[in-house]
Every structure is written in C-alpha cells, then in structure tokens.
C-alpha cells in the first residue's frame, strides 16, 4: 500500500525540495497544500508535476474546511508542516499576515490533524500509532547569541526578536501543547539559514547573485558582521526525512550546518564565484564586489545564530554532506543556468502563471 505524505508549503523553497526528494527517492504519494503566496512557485516542482503520485491542493492552511477535506480525502500517514510566512523584513512591515499564517494556520492544521488522528485511533489503530505530525521551524525563535556564547540547542530558551520569529515561536509552542495535552504524535525541528537552488530572490544569496549579474547594488545591513549558520537545502531535507522516519515522538531536533559566516563574508564569497563563472560583467563594472553597499540596519536585527546539531547527529546519524564552499558553488551555478526559473519572478510574470495552475 502506498503511504501518503501531506506537505504544507510544498511550492516554497524548502517545501519543494522535500516534495521532489520524496517523489524521486521513495514510493510515497505526496499531497502538496499551498496557498501560492508571493514566494510559492509551481515552477520549482516542474520536475515532478506530472508524477502520478503527486497531487496539488491550492488552499490556505488557515481554512478549516479545506484542511479537513485534505485529511479526509487523502488520509495521510504523516504531515510535514512547512507553510509559513518567513521573511523578517516583511514581518516588520506587515506582522498581521505572519500571525494569520504562522499562528492561526498552525492551530487550524493541528486541530484538523487531531480530528483525523482521533478517527484513526478508533478505525485503524495501527495507522494511528504510526501517524506523525512534523513541524518545521527556525533557529530564530532562540533570539541571538553573543560572540562567545555556545550555539543553540534543543534546550535553549526562546527569545524571539522579530514578528516573524515570534510567530514561529508561538507555532512551536502550539505543536508541543497539542502533543502534551492531546497526545498528538508530533516532531519539531529548528533549522539554521538555508540556501541553495530555487530560493526566492529576496533572500541574501539569490539576491546577491541576481543583483550582481544585473550590475545593481549589493545591499548589506549595518556593518555586515551579523553571523548566520548556513545549511545547504538538500542537507536540510535529508535531516527532515530522517526525523520523520526515525525521530522520537514528542522530541525536538536542532538542524544546522556548523558553518558560521558573517553576512559580508557570504556576499564576498558569491562575488568571487561569479568572477570565475560569469566573467562577462555589465558595462563599466570592475569587480562584482565593487557593488557592495552598506545600508541602514533593520530594527531588532539579531547579531548571531549558530546551531549545535549534536542530538540529530548522535541519534539519527545525520551530518551535512555539503560544506559552504561546495554548496555555494552549486547554488551560484544553478542560478546562472536557470534564468527561466528566476526571470519571471523578477519581471512579475510568474504571478500570472501561478493563477493558471490546475488544482
């Protein structure tokens, strides 16, 4: 019998990587629930769109009727909940959208999952015992670290700094409460900064690549010394699937790349790779790094994130396969070779394309 995985946010950066991996590397059926907001891009799923084991539902996770129908029709063996508003700058400008999706949306999904799971306990007890609800979160819920502080772990107290991270912290707490109060079999992962192919161009690495190619400024907040722990998206996906398959019910796993880099280091590294792979520059430009501009820092900007991934390494044997140099080179090369993916985003035509997606 084919098992079904319900993925929320499967047209997003990390979600689409999960969908592709599950369909290409297993016999599972994947049901992708996505609202297709600005960063949800069906083009990220072109490789699997015609797979008979793939089904797309155009719906909002905050819609109880739509979520109930998804559970009743497809009867998933597991849920991977990735749908979220995720950009800090946007959360500062419009926090209400983050509360609606990340908090209320998670609440609705938990309630419909609980309703479905309770039915399984009566009708199909073994399926109820095997069911898992995996909530994917961020290291930003922990706030920031001083330069000398040890890295975040599963026991680090929460101290979110932005509307985005506060909304994700709230959703984490809801998931754990539904496990403690109702017994819903849940798992939580908190990951560090992801990068890789198909990331929406507002994020630091793709923004740097595409601005540099166009000869536009490369903006860096403040002095650029903010530190992030970078994780290649395919390594993150392997971790998520290991946790779903073998993680202990009710547990949290921190997932990180053990790769701390200052933002300015990251931008300069992208520029150096572009010097090699894209030497033909816009007219009048000397070196790509000449485009770097330091701009006013954003409010509440965290200084440093870092993840101690010892628990997932010890319990599940996971560790990153890509180091930053290899992962970044793969990422830059992908953007150079896949203009057809990102050009519609830059010129706005992909918004029209999304409206025509069959559901």
Between 13-25 and 233-246, two packed helices, what is the crossing angle to 10 degrees?
60
What's the angle, vertex CA 290, arms to CA 286 and CA 296, rounded to 5? 160
Q: Are 34 and 15 in contact (CB under 8 A)?
A: yes
**Percent of the chain having pLDDT more than 70?**
97
Q: Which helix (H) or strand (E) holds 228?
A: strand 227-232
> pLDDT tens digits for 93-104?
999 999 999 999
pLDDT band with cut points at 50, 70 and 90 for residue 274: very high
Sketch the domain layout of the chain as residue ranges: 4-199+232-258+302-322+348-355
Lowest mean pLDDT among 23-27, 154-158, 225-229, 348-352: 348-352
**pLDDT of res. 87:** 78
The answer, yes or no, to whether residue 353 has pLDDT greater than 70, is: no
Q: Which of 102, 56, 123, 113 is nearest to 79 (CA)?
A: 113
**138-187 pLDDT tens trace:** 999 999 999 899 999 999 999 999 999 999 999 999 999 999 999 999 99
Give the pLDDT of residue 2: 85
pLDDT of residue 134: 98
pLDDT number for residue 357: 31
Residue pair 211/285 in contact (Cβ under 8 Å)? The answer is: no
Query: What is the pLDDT at residue 320?
Result: 97
CA distance 297 to 310: 33
- Position 358 pLDDT exceeds 80: no
User: Does the pLDDT value for residue 229 go beyond 50?
Assistant: yes
The pTM is what?
0.94
* CATH number 3.40.50.720 is the correct assignment for the domain at 4-199+232-258+302-322+348-355: yes
pLDDT of residue 351: 55
Buried b (16+ CB within 10 A) or exposed e, 99-119: bbbbbbbbbbbbbbbbebbee
**pLDDT, tens digit (0-9, with 9 covering 90-100), for 46-100:** 999 999 999 999 999 999 999 999 999 999 999 999 999 887 888 899 999 999 9
- What the block records as the tokens of 272 is 């150096």
Q: What is the pLDDT of residue 1?
A: 65
The angle subtended at Cα 335 by Cα 24 and Cα 284, nearest 5°, is: 175
**Residues labelled catalytic:** 139-140, 164
| Structure confidence at residue 88 (pLDDT) | 85
Calculate the average pLDDT of the chain: 94
Model confidence band, residue 331 (pLDDT cutoffs 50, 70, 90): very high
For residue 34, pLDDT over 60 is answered with yes
The arithmetic mean of pLDDT across residues 302-323, rounded, is 97
pLDDT band at 43 (very low <50, low <70, confident <90, very high): very high
CA-closest candidate to residue 170, choices 114, 240, 79, 99: 99
Per residue in 245-270, pLDDT tens?
A: 999 999 999 999 999 999 999 999 99
pLDDT score at 350: 58
């Amino acid at each position: 019998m084919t098992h079904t995985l319900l993925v929320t946010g499967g047209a997003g950066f990390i979600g689409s990587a999960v969908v592709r991996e599950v369909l290409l590397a297993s016999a599972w059926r994947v049901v992708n629930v996505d609202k297709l907001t600005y960063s949800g891009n069906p083009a990220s799923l072109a490789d699997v769109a015609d797979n008979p084991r793939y089904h797309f539902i155009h719906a909002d996770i905050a819609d109880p009727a739509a979520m109930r129908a998804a559970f009743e029709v497809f009867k998933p063996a597991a849920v991977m909940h990735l749908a979220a508003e995720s950009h800090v700058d946007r959360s500062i400008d419009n926090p209400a959208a983050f509360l609606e999706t990340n908090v209320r949306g998670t609440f609705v999904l938990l309630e419909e999952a609980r309703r479905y799971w309770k039915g399984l306990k009566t009708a199909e007890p073994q399926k109820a015992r095997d069911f898992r609800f995996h909530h994917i979160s961020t290291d930003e819920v922990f706030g920031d670290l001083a330069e000398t502080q040890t890295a975040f772990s599963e026991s680090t107290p929460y101290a979110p700094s932005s509307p985005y991270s506060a909304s994700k912290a709230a959703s984490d707490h809801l998931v754990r409460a539904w496990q403690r109060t109702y017994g819903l079999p849940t798992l939580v992962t908190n990951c560090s900064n992801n990068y890789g192919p198909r990331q929406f161009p507002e994020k630091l690495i793709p923004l740097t690549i595409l601005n540099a190619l166009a000869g536009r400024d490369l903006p860096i907040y403040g002095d650029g010394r903010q530190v992030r722990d970078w994780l290649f998206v395919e390594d993150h996906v392997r971790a998520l699937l290991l946790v779903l398959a073998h993680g202990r019910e009710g547990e949290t796993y921190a997932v990180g790349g053990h790769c701390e880099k200052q933002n300015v280091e990251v931008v300069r590294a992208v520029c150096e790779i572009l010097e090699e792979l894209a030497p033909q520059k816009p007219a009048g430009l000397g070196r790509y790094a000449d485009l770097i501009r330091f701009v006013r820092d954003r409010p509440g900007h965290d200084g440093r994130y870092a993840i101690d991934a010892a628990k997932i390494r010890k319990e599940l044997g996971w560790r990153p396969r890509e180091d930053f140099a290899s992962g970044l080179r793969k990422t830059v090369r992908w953007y150079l070779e896949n203009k057809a993916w990102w050009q519609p985003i830059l010129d706005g035509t992909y918004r029209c394309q999304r409206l025509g997606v069959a559901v």
